[in-house]
Chain A
Amino acid sequence: MGNIFKDKLFGLVVPLIAIGFGFLAGGVIMLLSGNNPIDGYVALMQGVFGEVYYFGETLQRMTPLIFSGLAVAFAFRTGLLNIGVEGQLIVGWFVSVFVGIVIEAPMIIHLPLAILAGALAGALWGFVPGILKAKFQVHEVIVTIMMNYIAMHVVNHFIRNFMLESGQRTAFINDSASLSSDFLTSITDFSRLHWGFLIAVAACFVMWFILWKTKKGFELRSVGYNKHASSYAGMNVNMNIILSMSVSGAFAGIGGAMVGLGTYNYANILPSFTNLGFDGIAVALLGSSTSIGIFLSAFLFGGLKEGANNMQSQAGVAPELVEIIIALIIFFVASSYLIRWIYSRLQSKKEGK
C-alpha cells in the first residue's frame, strides 16, 4: 500500500526535479550570457501572470499543446511512438478550416462538423502508419516522420492553388464554425482565448476515461505493456495498433482544429513546421502520459513560450533561451533514470543512517 503511494509520489517528483534542473541550468546560461537570471525569471512570470491578456494568451497557447500531448500519450500507452502528431495536426487544421469556409449551416451543426472533420483528417493521417505497422511491420516512427512532410506540403499546395485569399492565407471561416468567443476575449482584455480551451479540458477527461474505464482502453494499455501476452490472452493486437494510431491522430486533428477555428480562424501556407506537434512529445513525456500531467505540462510549455517574449522585451534575454530551457527540461525528464538512481542512492544512505 505504502509502496503504491510512494510510486505515485515519485512519478510527480521526477518531472519536478527535471523542471527545477532545467530552470537552474537556464539561470546559469543567463549568467554566462551576461543577463541577470532573477530579472529574467521575474519577467518570465510577469509575462504569464502579469496581465490577464498574457494569461489568456497562455491558455490559448496551451490548448493545441494539450491535444498534441494527449495524442502522443495515447499512442504511447499502446507502445507506439507517434512522431506524426505535427502532420496530423496540420491536416486537422486545414480540413476543419476548409469545412468552416465551404459549408454554411447553423452553428449547432457547423461547429461540431468542422471539429469532427479535423478529427477525421487527423485520424486518417494516423491510420496510415497504423495499418502499415499492423500489416507490414513498418516502423511507425519512420512513417509518421515522413507523413509530417507530406501533410505540410500537401496542405500548402491546396492552400496556394485553390484557397489563397490574401497574402499567405485562406479566407476567414464563417462565424458559425468559429470557436472565438467575445466573452472570453473581453474578460482577458482582447487575448485570443477561445472555447477550444474548454474542449481541451474535456478531452483530458475523455482520454482518461477511454484508457482507464473502458474494456477497449484496457486492451490498448495491455498491448502497450506486452504485445505477446495480450495476443496470447486473445486480444487482436493489430486491430489495437490501428485503433490506437487513429485515435491518437484524431486527438492531434482536433488540436489542429482548435488552432484553425479558434486562434486564427484561417489556415495559412506554412513556411516550416508549427512545432505544436513536436512540442506535444515533450508535453506527453513530462506529463508521464497521464491526463492531469499533460494538462499541467502543457501549461508549463505554453507559459514558457508566452513569457519568453516578455523576457526579451523586459529583461533583454534572448528568446532562444527559453527553447534551451525547454530542451534541458526534456533532457532531464528523459534521463529520469539518472534522477531515479541518485534518488535511490540518497534514500538508501538515509536508511543506512
Chain B
Amino acid sequence: MKKRFMMLVSSVVAAGTLLAACGEGNNEDTTPVNNDANGGNEITENEENNNNDGNNEATGDGEGFSSKMVTDTGGVDDRSFNESAWAGLQMFGDDYPEAEVEYIQSNDASDYAPNLNRLARDGTDITFAIGFLMEDDIRTVAQQNEDQNFAIVDTVVMEDDETISNIANITFAEHEGSFLVGAVAAMHSETDHVGFIGGVESDLIKKFESGFKAGVKYVDPDMEVTVQYAQDFNDASRGQQIADTMYGNGVDIIYHAAGGTGNGLFTEAIDRARNGENVWAIGVDQDQALTEGEWDEGNVILTSMVKRVDQAVYQVSEDTMNGNFPGGEVLEFGLEDDGVGIAETRDNVSDEAIEAVEEYEAMILNGEIEVPQTDDEYEEFESSL
C-alpha cells in the first residue's frame, strides 16, 4: 500500500512538473551559452559594425565602463528584443574591448527586482531593463540607487507624471515601421484581405496594429484587415490556431506582433505553403526570415518589421560612456535614426513595393503622412483617406 502510494505520488509530481512546463512554453528552447548566444544574429551584427565604424570617432577603449542588461522572462535567445539588445551590447563590447558587458536572465517576474538590484550594487555604469514588464521594478530600484544609471526599453517610467532622472526611457516608433509593412502587405495581397495577430492587448501592441492597418488602408482603402489578439506572448499553438482561422477565412498575408506566439503563425504558413497555397507571414522585431519560416521551396516570410533594439542599446551605452547619459529623457527611435524599418531580407518583396516603401518612408519623414498610434488616431486617419 505504502509502495503504491509512493508510486502515485512520484507520478503525480512528474505530471505536475510536466504541466507546469506546459504553462511556460517559452522555455522550450532556452539553452543560454554565455559566449555565443545568438548564432542567428551574426549577419545583422556585422552590418551593424560597418555602419557604426563611421561614427566611432576615437572615444577610447571603454576602460572601466560597464554596461549590463537584465532580460525579461523571454530569455536572452528569444529571437526578439532580448536577443537584439544583447547583440547591441556585444557590439558595444567589440568596439570598446575594455568595457564590460554582461546579461542576467530572469526566470520569472519575481527575479526582476533582485536582478536589477544586483547589477546596480555591482556598480554597473548603466543597467538596461529589457521590456516594459520591468517598469515597476526599475522605478523602485532606481529610486533606491539614486547614483546609478538605468535605462528601460519599450516604456516610459513615470512617477507622479514625471520621468525619473536616473532612468533613460527607450521607445520606438513601431507604428511607422508597421505602416511600411502594412503597405507591402496591401500591395502583395491577392485576396485583398490581410490579418494582424497581436500578443497581449496593450498600448504598445496597439501601435503595431494601428500603424499596420493605416499602411494597408493607405494603399487601398477597400482592403479588409482582420485583427485578433492571442492574449499571450508565449503560446505558439494559440498563434497557429488563430493563423489557421484567418487563412481559412481568405486572409493571405498575416503580420504578427506577438513574440513567441508568432512562431505558430510561421508553422501554419509553412504547412499551407506545402499544400500549395499562396500565403505569407510578416515577421516582427528582428529580421525573422533569417531564423524562421524556411521550407523546401523558399521562405514564407515576406519581410519583417525590424526594431533596432541593438542600435538603441548601443547608442545609449555609448552616450553614457561619453558622459551624456540621457536620464529622465524619453528617446524615440524612429525611421529617422533607423530605429525601425523594413528588414534587410526582402527577396520575396516585389520591386514595386520596395519603391513604394521608400516613397512612404520619405513622406512619413517629412510629415506628409502622420501614422496613427492608437485606436482613436486610427479612426481619424481612416476617415481622412
Which A residues have a C-beta under 8 Å from some C-beta of B?
51, 53-54, 57, 61, 81, 83, 86, 141, 145, 148, 156, 160, 166-169, 190, 192, 263-264, 266, 268-269, 271-275, 278, 281-282, 285, 305-306, 308-310, 312-313, 316, 318-320, 323, 327, 330, 334-337
CB within 8 Å for A168 and B133 given contacts A272-B24, A278-B17: yes
Bound: A273/B21 CA distance, A: 9
Pull 30 A–B residue pairs with CB atoms less than 8 Å apart, ordered by A.
A81-B8, A83-B16, A83-B19, A141-B12, A148-B19, A167-B135, A167-B202, A168-B133, A168-B200, A263-B110, A264-B136, A271-B232, A272-B23, A273-B20, A274-B108, A275-B20, A278-B16, A281-B12, A285-B13, A305-B107, A313-B115, A313-B118, A316-B34, A318-B105, A319-B105, A319-B107, A320-B31, A320-B32, A327-B17, A337-B3
Measured CB to CB, the nearest residue on chain B to A145 is: B19
Bound: A323/B118 CA distance, A: 20
B292 interface residue (CB < 8 Å to A): no
B109 interface residue (CB < 8 Å to A): yes
Measured CB to CB, the nearest residue on chain A to B34 is: A316
B233 interface residue (CB < 8 Å to A): yes
Measured CB to CB, the nearest residue on chain B to A336 is: B6
A residues less than 8 Å from B23 (CB atoms): 272-273, 275
B113 interface residue (CB < 8 Å to A): yes
Which B residues have a C-beta under 8 Å from some C-beta of A?
3, 6, 8-10, 12-17, 19-20, 23-27, 30-34, 73, 102, 104-111, 113-115, 117-119, 121-122, 132-133, 135-136, 144, 155, 200-202, 231-234
Bound: A313/B66 CA distance, A: 13
B residues less than 8 Å from A313 (CB atoms): 102, 104, 115, 118-119, 122
Instruction: Select one of B108, B117, B132 contacting A167, CB under 8 A.
Output: B132
B155 lies within 8 A of A167 (CB): yes
Bound: A316/B104 CA distance, A: 9
Instruction: Select one of B6, B17, B104, B109 contacting A312, CB under 8 A.
Output: B104
What distance in Å separates the Cβ of A248 from its nearest Cβ neighbour in chain B? 15
A269 lies within 8 A of B200 (CB): yes
Bound: A306/B117 CA distance, A: 12
Bound: A274/B106 CA distance, A: 13
A residues less than 8 Å from B108 (CB atoms): 274-275
A residues less than 8 Å from B13 (CB atoms): 281-282, 285, 330, 334
CB within 8 Å for A309 and B232 given contacts A168-B200, A275-B20, A316-B34: no
B200 lies within 8 A of A61 (CB): no
Q: Which of A83, A169, A192, A271 has the most CB of B within 10 A?
A: A271
- By secondary structure, the A interface counts as helix
CB within 8 Å for A281 and B16 given contacts A312-B105, A316-B34: yes
Measured CB to CB, the nearest residue on chain B to A323 is: B107
Bound: A269/B205 CA distance, A: 15
What distance in Å separates the Cβ of A104 from its nearest Cβ neighbour in chain B? 21
B residues less than 8 Å from A190 (CB atoms): 117, 144
Bound: A340/B19 CA distance, A: 29
What distance in Å separates the Cβ of A245 from its nearest Cβ neighbour in chain B? 15
B133 lies within 8 A of A334 (CB): no
What distance in Å separates the Cβ of B174 from its nearest Cβ neighbour in chain A? 16
Measured CB to CB, the nearest residue on chain A to B199 is: A271
CB within 8 Å for A271 and B234 given contacts A167-B202, A305-B107, A312-B105: yes
B24 lies within 8 A of A273 (CB): yes
Bound: A15/B152 CA distance, A: 43
A306 lies within 8 A of B104 (CB): no
- By secondary structure, the B interface counts as helix
B residues less than 8 Å from A51 (CB atoms): 121
CB within 8 Å for A166 and B17 given contacts A81-B9, A272-B234: no
Bound: A282/B14 CA distance, A: 10
B residues less than 8 Å from A83 (CB atoms): 12, 15-16, 19
Instruction: Select one of A160, A263, A272, A319 contacting B201, CB under 8 A.
Output: A160
A residues less than 8 Å from B155 (CB atoms): 167
B135 lies within 8 A of A57 (CB): no
A residues less than 8 Å from B6 (CB atoms): 334, 336-337
Instruction: Select one of B12, B26, B136 contacting A272, CB under 8 A.
Output: B26
Instruction: Select one of B12, B14, B30, B135 contacting A320, CB under 8 A.
Output: B30
What distance in Å separates the Cβ of A141 from its nearest Cβ neighbour in chain B? 6
What distance in Å separates the Cβ of A57 from its nearest Cβ neighbour in chain B? 5
Q: Which of A168, A266, A272, A330 has the most CB of B within 10 A?
A: A272
Measured CB to CB, the nearest residue on chain A to B141 is: A190
A residues less than 8 Å from B33 (CB atoms): 318
B residues less than 8 Å from A192 (CB atoms): 113
Measured CB to CB, the nearest residue on chain B to A306 is: B114
What distance in Å separates the Cβ of B201 from its nearest Cβ neighbour in chain A? 7
Bound: A313/B101 CA distance, A: 11
What distance in Å separates the Cβ of B145 from its nearest Cβ neighbour in chain A? 9
B residues less than 8 Å from A309 (CB atoms): 104, 106, 111, 114-115, 118
B residues less than 8 Å from A61 (CB atoms): 110
CB within 8 Å for A285 and B102 given contacts A168-B202, A309-B111, A316-B34: no
Bound: A167/B233 CA distance, A: 14
What distance in Å separates the Cβ of B232 from its nearest Cβ neighbour in chain A? 6
B107 lies within 8 A of A308 (CB): yes
What distance in Å separates the Cβ of A47 from its nearest Cβ neighbour in chain B? 8
Given A306-B114, A309-B118, A318-B32, output 10 extra A-B contacts at Cβ < 8 Å: A83-B12, A83-B16, A145-B19, A168-B200, A266-B136, A271-B232, A273-B20, A309-B114, A316-B34, A319-B107
B residues less than 8 Å from A167 (CB atoms): 132-133, 135-136, 155, 202
Q: Which of B3, B13, B109 has the most CB of A within 10 A?
A: B13
Q: Which of A81, A156, A313 has the most CB of B within 10 A?
A: A313
What distance in Å separates the Cβ of B130 from its nearest Cβ neighbour in chain A? 15
A residues less than 8 Å from B30 (CB atoms): 320
Instruction: Select one of B9, B109, B202 contacting A268, CB under 8 A.
Output: B109
Q: Which of B15, B117, B144 has the most CB of A within 10 A?
A: B117
CB within 8 Å for A156 and B10 given contacts A168-B200, A263-B110, A320-B30: no
What distance in Å separates the Cβ of A37 from its nearest Cβ neighbour in chain B? 16
- 6 closest A-B pairs (Cβ-Cβ)? A334-B10, A273-B23, A278-B20, A272-B24, A272-B23, A190-B144
What distance in Å separates the Cβ of A269 from its nearest Cβ neighbour in chain B? 7
Bound: A72/B17 CA distance, A: 14
